Chain A
Amino acid sequence: MKVRRPVASALAVAGYIVMIVPILFVVATAFTGGETLRFPPEGVSLRWFEAALSYEPFIGALVSSLQLAVLATVLALLVGVPVTLAIHRGHIPGKGLVEGLFLSPLIVPELVVGLALYQQLMIGLRLDNFETLLIGHTVLMLPYAVRVTGASLALADPALEEAARGLGASPLRAFFTVTLPLLRPGIFSAALLSFVTSFNNVPLSLLLQSRDFRTLPVTMLDYVQQSYDPMVAAMATLILAATIVVAVIAERTVGFAKIFGGINR
């Protein structure tokens, strides 16, 4: 077959190789029977999966990460959805400025936010590291809640609420029976993005770790630094599998491109 656009196709292939191939190598080494991160792997076994799943620091961190991600997501939505409503349906002065303010955590480098919270809240105000992490992650997820639900609210015709009011619904009832159901895809997308972003976050969680409460990515990062065995590859492969499940759910429900379309200006 003749390739129609040889240069573009070659660049595209190179791009996919850089994006995908390293991930495949992680999976390949996770199944090794050998002692080290070596390629090609020596034999095939599941021993490193067993090791990863019985390694207490990983499992503890996994539980911590899940707790943190769920709580931060719920909090970000509880705080963020009302903000979206106020921005899009209220007549507040300086609307653009307010929205910009809520999106600003996206612009400031996460490591800088992490340092600020570490220094001011954890050391300065002596907050617990879990509390600080929760505040940090929630702040970081706020832009997703505001922007993604905002995008679906902007699509919803305000006349629908007015129609509900005209039919006798109170403002609150109109919100819960008309507006909220319309926002559901947006809220779902925002929740998914927030959860994944929080779960994967390193820069913020890095400085805010303590011996009792560390997230999984930070624990894995530490482990890689200390020892060079394939257990991290096994853990990474498990995370990969879970992420694929999340991606399939996302694709089946709201559609992949839509979710990420929301965060692109």
Chain B
Amino acid sequence: MRNRTAALLLLPGLVLLVVGFLVPSLIMLFSPPGIEPAQIFVRFGEMLTDPYDLRIIGRTVGIGLIVTVICVSLGFPIAYLLARSTSRWSGVLLALAIFPLLLSNVVRTFGWLVVLGSNGAIGQALLALGLVDKAPQLLYTELAIVLGLTQLFLPLAIISCYSAVAQVDAGLDDAARGLGASRTRTFWSIVIPLSLPGIVVAATLVFAGSVTAYTTPYLLGGSSQRMLSTQLFSYSSVTIDWASASATALIMTILVFLVSGLSSLVGRRGAIS
């Protein structure tokens, strides 16, 4: 392929990327209408010290970490069992784990309203069992957000872990067993270390997804449990505070870039050793 042909093929894509993504994002982050770049950094600094903003950042990062830990600790066993199973059901179960990725977040999150709402399944069940006098408020809590985000990102964790475990030769499990390692020991000393790159990818995807997700904190957290994403939306369409919106967007973007950078660093070190 000639250089001119290659350039011609790239051109439309580059234009779209620059005009429809890069330039607007950079201007929005650093110089929104009527705002000096310095103002954004001032606001950025304030957010990192102001107790109200800090609580939102802390909640976002905290929930992100909890969801990451849960998704990896549920997703890895699922991936491991599916990758090692010889049953014909494992294909069906794998498809069932991937399927939610195709399904709208709104549909998936909406389910929790039915489960956790005051007229929902859990509340009514507790009432019927006589364990409580009044259905407890489970919605608009951090627990609700954690559950919703776990449901959302578990499939991603499963896929990443699955492709990692599937690459670990099952013969290694056999070899370790033959040398005297129990199933548990084999799992921790062979399977886990060798699938670590996949686990890191899974954790990164889940964390980045959790700290930027909008639908779930909006529906399940409401206005009482604000996260960075719901806060960003409110700055940009309710209060129209461009400086705060840009500073919030900056924090979110930095968070995601930080984890991605960190994980590729870990990945690279893993590849060397």
Question: Is there a direct interface between A and B, measured as CB atoms under 8 Å apart in the complex?
Answer: yes
Measured CB to CB, the residues of A under 8 A from B are: 4-5, 7-9, 11-12, 14-16, 18-26, 28-29, 36-40, 78-80, 82-83, 85-87, 89-92, 98, 101-102, 104-105, 107-113, 115-121, 123-124, 135-136, 138-139, 142, 146, 171, 196, 199-200, 202-203, 206-207, 217, 220-221, 224, 232-233, 236, 239-240, 243-244, 246-247, 250-251, 256-257, 260-261, 264-265
Which single member of B7, B9, B99, B110 contacts A233 (CB below 8 Å)?
B110
How many angstroms between the C-alpha atoms of A239 and B110 in the bound complex?
Answer: 12
How many angstroms between the C-alpha atoms of A258 and B201 in the bound complex?
Answer: 18
Which secondary structure characterizes the binding site on chain B?
A: helix
> Which of chain B's residues has its CB closest to A193's CB?
B102
Chain B residues positioned under 8 Å from A256 (CB to CB): 94-95, 98-99
Residue B108 interfacial (CB < 8 Å): yes
Chain B residues positioned under 8 Å from A19 (CB to CB): 96-97, 100, 151, 154-155
How many angstroms between the C-alpha atoms of A196 and B107 in the bound complex?
Answer: 13
Count, chain B residues at interface, CB 8 A: 88
Which single member of B6, B32, B95, B252 contacts A112 (CB below 8 Å)?
B252
How many angstroms between the C-alpha atoms of A39 and B99 in the bound complex?
Answer: 25
Interface centre among A36, A37, A111 (most CB of B within 10 A): A111
> Which of chain B's residues has its CB closest to A240's CB?
B107
Report yes or no: B104 in contact with A83, Cβ–Cβ below 8 A. Answer: no
Residue B52 interfacial (CB < 8 Å): no
Report yes or no: B257 in contact with A109, Cβ–Cβ below 8 A. Answer: no
How many angstroms between the C-alpha atoms of A75 and B10 in the bound complex?
Answer: 14
Chain A residues positioned under 8 Å from B214 (CB to CB): 110-111, 202-203, 206
How many angstroms between the C-alpha atoms of A11 and B208 in the bound complex?
Answer: 23
How many angstroms between the C-alpha atoms of A256 and B158 in the bound complex?
Answer: 14
How many angstroms between the C-alpha atoms of A140 and B131 in the bound complex?
Answer: 48
Please list 7 pairs of residues, one from A and one from B, whose beta carbons are closer than 8 Å in the complex, sorted by A's number: A39-B115, A79-B13, A86-B6, A87-B10, A104-B21, A135-B16, A236-B110
Chain B residues positioned under 8 Å from A23 (CB to CB): 100, 103, 107-108, 111
- 3 interchain residue pairs of minimum CB distance: A22-B111, A90-B6, A15-B74
Chain B residues positioned under 8 Å from A265 (CB to CB): 201
Chain B residues positioned under 8 Å from A232 (CB to CB): 110
Which single member of A8, A123, A202 contacts B33 (CB below 8 Å)?
A123
Which single member of A38, A98, A233 contacts B119 (CB below 8 Å)?
A38
Report yes or no: A116 in contact with B114, Cβ–Cβ below 8 A. Answer: no
8 A Cβ contacts from B223-271 to A? 229, 232-233, 236-237, 242, 245, 249, 252-253, 256-257, 260
Report yes or no: B104 in contact with A200, Cβ–Cβ below 8 A. Answer: yes
> Which of chain A's residues has its CB closest to B237's CB?
A207
Interface centre among B33, B104, B232, B237 (most CB of A within 10 A): B104
Residue B219 interfacial (CB < 8 Å): yes
| Shortest Cβ distance from residue B136 to the other chain A in the assembled complex, whole angstroms | 14
Which secondary structure characterizes the binding site on chain A?
A: helix
| Shortest Cβ distance from residue A49 to the other chain B in the assembled complex, whole angstroms | 15
| Shortest Cβ distance from residue A191 to the other chain B in the assembled complex, whole angstroms | 13
| Shortest Cβ distance from residue B70 to the other chain A in the assembled complex, whole angstroms | 9
> Which of chain B's residues has its CB closest to A118's CB?
B236
Report yes or no: A83 in contact with B9, Cβ–Cβ below 8 A. Answer: yes
| Shortest Cβ distance from residue B215 to the other chain A in the assembled complex, whole angstroms | 5
Report yes or no: B105 in contact with A260, Cβ–Cβ below 8 A. Answer: no
Report yes or no: B111 in contact with A26, Cβ–Cβ below 8 A. Answer: yes
Report yes or no: A264 in contact with B201, Cβ–Cβ below 8 A. Answer: yes
How many angstroms between the C-alpha atoms of A217 and B17 in the bound complex?
Answer: 25
How many angstroms between the C-alpha atoms of A244 and B124 in the bound complex?
Answer: 30
Which single member of B6, B98, B102, B208 contacts A196 (CB below 8 Å)?
B102
Residue B177 interfacial (CB < 8 Å): no
With contacts A18-B147, A86-B1, A256-B98 taken as known, whether A98 is within 8 angstroms of B124 at the C-beta atoms is no
How many angstroms between the C-alpha atoms of A259 and B33 in the bound complex?
Answer: 41
Report yes or no: B113 in contact with A224, Cβ–Cβ below 8 A. Answer: yes
Report yes or no: B256 in contact with A107, Cβ–Cβ below 8 A. Answer: yes
How many angstroms between the C-alpha atoms of A119 and B33 in the bound complex?
Answer: 8
Which single member of B73, B104, B150, B201 contacts A217 (CB below 8 Å)?
B104
> Which of chain B's residues has its CB closest to A38's CB?
B119
Given contacts A25-B115, A92-B6, 19 further A-B contacts (CB under 8 A): A18-B147, A20-B100, A29-B114, A39-B120, A90-B1, A92-B3, A92-B10, A105-B21, A110-B212, A111-B249, A116-B27, A118-B236, A119-B33, A206-B214, A221-B218, A232-B110, A243-B104, A243-B107, A246-B102
